[in-house]
Chain A
């Protein structure tokens, strides 16, 4: 297949004519070309996957589809006619709706109000609440979402908010739905719900564009895959293409092992982190575990099982009611982040943008926050030292950037995450608490992060890794703790464990608790 041929709408396998095409589009910013001569067709009743590392040009393509960017070369074709999309409104008028990672909902308003936002029905100059609720109900029914239209959006989980946004798009007569990493923040059950909706929409003839960093989702939900690398279309392949082949196309080289876990530490396996009976009412129940030098302890479980809260409590970010945390035998004070850092704890939080980084500050500043005080002389910052250390560590972690004075918000997700890691390298942390360390990180940077984890444990550190990515937990951990409803539901040896074992532990106690409650109510 020749990717740059602009007019190839009909395919021999009888695929329907595309609703939306980008034909040979190019986009440049100043001297830099971020997308070059890319052709993508989006067909009714098909899910077109865009695959590529961060920086490959997926986001730019999406923005050209949704009217945020205008191509510098090539054309956008809708229903067989070349169009220009000067803004988002123009794209929406043609039935193109984009569900961005950052959702466009007002959390303090109800589901019905959000769905009718900007076009609220009126009667006699006043808001027609009944008509608004009916519109919402119809929209929610269409995707089989069982949510009360009067419910506040902010109280729904991310997954349901996303579905509300899809419902909203469909109620605006969207025929082309662009889904930008919709599964990034979802649990497996929620992903199943989302995919059910996507399949129904596919049956109904909606054309969809789907972006995901999870290769296993491609075969599950996609029809055809446009693989991008460095702003160019590498190939278009069926979604059934085996994962290793997709990875090879995407990164241009083989990644023999996606999870290169090596346990190389041969020193004494002292207990570095000792958590005893950690309890916080309604959140954590009597959590006890240890992490030894050279070990990666994976923490699996559903969202809301208390995994993030466990890490935050250990790191001193959240309080707890009872229990003890010891690092190398010394107890930590509760809710004392600085103390935990001094004891050797490094915490890579769940969301690097809101919790990990000061996005407007430079790479050097962000790397240095945890060591600002300890390296200072008489309250004055060791500026030269901080910069040279920042340079060393960003080189070591292969942070791709112009220099350490670049604003961290301008880096890609994977490189931002490396900066958060780098902070703890500089702080000399021996116990690393990683919360979803590779979320929103592309395959190449992901492997580099795994190699960093290997180097930490090889040097005698301990890593506790929370992840919703089961293959990652299984692939990178030595031991897996499964959390459920705030307590440890079980422990598995990663070598023999399967995804099913993990999941059955993750849901087991929740079910039992529910049964207990039901029995209690009956008696």
Chain B
């Protein structure tokens, strides 16, 4: 350690506001983005459009909350898009073909997500597979099972699932789900033992182990939670379409990872916050929405999103370099 880092106070010269801005770069970006779109198009800042953005953000946000656990613990989960599809499909199938009651089909969907997550987690924890590989395998397996169960055709969902696509007292249900899922994720990460252990495992797995933290148990928990959240996201997707689609959620894992990373998490592990992830997911949704309002083609939207990811993370890297060295 250098003498500089031992004696230098942090936040030198920064006011409290300045420090807040420096630590919440993504939030600043989101606000700037919203102001720019407000100036660019009158359609942006309407109640309907904002609710619309919330609904559009909800699926990716819920996936990204689950992903936050994994990334904080130093892993990655590539399977969440496929797992979401499988969970929705199992839910729809158990209602339509197996004759389960609607509420039980919801439980079946969530359980499917948690179970596939647990399998990935065990492959990582006990099988010692890198999480990239284990979840890449699960990406393929879950998508395959989705196709097997559905025979490649959509299946209608129970009304309890469709409820997730409806509106309560003027507020779309996906937004409520998003808020509750975010609060729970934040509670788990900040307040529970296993949550703090995730940060320790992601920050330094050996130090965590030598401190008596049962690393493998933490890893299984992390992937199970990610799977559970993916299952919930799958129900949201199915709810909006009132059916489970075999190709639903394809590629969503990359948006989820992008949201987490834009939100300030480090792929090296040990760093990440649910609030950041939410902002990341909102940034992606706002950009898509804004570009739609301005009639930019969806092809160009992909280009813009890619650039945003690179710029957001690039700024974050620079900021970290300046505050610590």
* Interface residues, chain A, with chain B CB atoms under 8 Å away: 27, 29-32, 34-35, 54-60, 63, 69, 231, 315, 317, 337-338, 340-342, 347, 349, 354-361, 365, 368-370, 372-373, 376, 379-381, 383, 402, 406-407, 409-413, 415-416, 423
Measured between beta carbons, the chain B residues less than 8 angstroms from A337 are 209-212
A29 to B127, CA, bound (A): 47
The answer on a CB contact under 8 Å between B270 and A358 is yes
A354 CB contact (under 8 Å) in B8, B191, B204: B204
Measured between beta carbons, the chain B residues less than 8 angstroms from A365 are 196, 199-200
A402 to B210, CA, bound (A): 26
Measured between beta carbons, the chain B residues less than 8 angstroms from A379 are 192-194
Interface string of B307-325 (1 = CB under 8 A from A): 0000000000000000010
In addition to A359-B203, A359-B204, A380-B191, 8 A-B residue pairs with Cβ atoms within 8 Å of each other are: A32-B7, A54-B6, A58-B3, A59-B2, A317-B210, A358-B203, A372-B193, A381-B191
Minimum distance in angstroms from B42 CB to a CB of chain A: 45
The answer on a CB contact under 8 Å between A369 and B7 is no
The answer on a CB contact under 8 Å between B193 and A376 is yes
Q: Which range holds the interface residue count of chain B?
A: 35 or more
Minimum distance in angstroms from B182 CB to a CB of chain A: 18
A55 CB contact (under 8 Å) in B7, B192, B195, B214: B7
* Residue picked from A32, A347, A407, most chain B C-beta under 10 Å: A32
14 pairs across A/B with beta carbons < 8 Å? A34-B4, A55-B3, A55-B6, A59-B3, A337-B209, A347-B210, A357-B204, A360-B203, A369-B200, A372-B193, A407-B324, A409-B324, A415-B6, A416-B1
Minimum distance in angstroms from A53 CB to a CB of chain B: 10
A347 to B194, CA, bound (A): 22
A360 to B5, CA, bound (A): 13
Given contacts A59-B2, A356-B207, contact A34 B7 (CB under 8 A): yes
* Interface residues, chain B, with chain A CB atoms under 8 Å away: 1-10, 12-13, 191-197, 199-200, 203-204, 206-214, 270-271, 324
A358 to B268, CA, bound (A): 13
Measured between beta carbons, the chain B residues less than 8 angstroms from A376 are 192-193
Measured between beta carbons, the chain B residues less than 8 angstroms from A409 are 1, 5, 324
Given contacts A376-B193, A379-B193, A423-B211, contact A34 B3 (CB under 8 A): yes
The secondary structure that dominates the A interface is mixed
Given contacts A32-B8, A360-B203, contact A372 B210 (CB under 8 A): no
Given contacts A57-B3, A412-B1, contact A30 B200 (CB under 8 A): no
Minimum distance in angstroms from A125 CB to a CB of chain B: 33
Minimum distance in angstroms from B151 CB to a CB of chain A: 42
The answer on a CB contact under 8 Å between B4 and A358 is no
The answer on a CB contact under 8 Å between B209 and A317 is yes
A376 to B196, CA, bound (A): 11
Minimum distance in angstroms from B323 CB to a CB of chain A: 10
Measured between beta carbons, the chain B residues less than 8 angstroms from A57 are 3
In the complex formed, the residue of A with least CB distance to B270 is A360
In the complex formed, the residue of A with least CB distance to B201 is A358
Measured between beta carbons, the chain B residues less than 8 angstroms from A55 are 3, 6-7
The answer on a CB contact under 8 Å between A410 and B196 is no
Measured between beta carbons, the chain A residues less than 8 angstroms from B204 are 354-355, 357-359
Measured between beta carbons, the chain A residues less than 8 angstroms from B214 are 338
Given contacts A29-B7, A359-B203, contact A372 B196 (CB under 8 A): yes
Measured between beta carbons, the chain A residues less than 8 angstroms from B271 are 360
In the complex formed, the residue of A with least CB distance to B194 is A379
In the complex formed, the residue of B with least CB distance to A338 is B212
The answer on a CB contact under 8 Å between A315 and B210 is yes
Measured between beta carbons, the chain A residues less than 8 angstroms from B8 are 29-30, 32, 34
The answer on a CB contact under 8 Å between B199 and A358 is yes
In the complex formed, the residue of A with least CB distance to B4 is A29
The 3 A-B residue pairs with the shortest CB-CB distance in the complex, in nearest-first order: A30-B12, A358-B203, A369-B211
A54 to B4, CA, bound (A): 11
In the complex formed, the residue of A with least CB distance to B11 is A30
A416 to B6, CA, bound (A): 11
Measured between beta carbons, the chain A residues less than 8 angstroms from B2 are 59-60, 63
The answer on a CB contact under 8 Å between A381 and B5 is no
Measured between beta carbons, the chain A residues less than 8 angstroms from B194 are 379
A2 to B207, CA, bound (A): 47
Minimum distance in angstroms from B1 CB to a CB of chain A: 6
In the complex formed, the residue of B with least CB distance to A57 is B3
Minimum distance in angstroms from A151 CB to a CB of chain B: 27
The answer on a CB contact under 8 Å between B208 and A383 is no
In the complex formed, the residue of A with least CB distance to B269 is A360
Measured between beta carbons, the chain B residues less than 8 angstroms from A60 are 2-4
A62 to B13, CA, bound (A): 27
Measured between beta carbons, the chain A residues less than 8 angstroms from B209 are 317, 337
A372 CB contact (under 8 Å) in B10, B12, B197, B207: B197
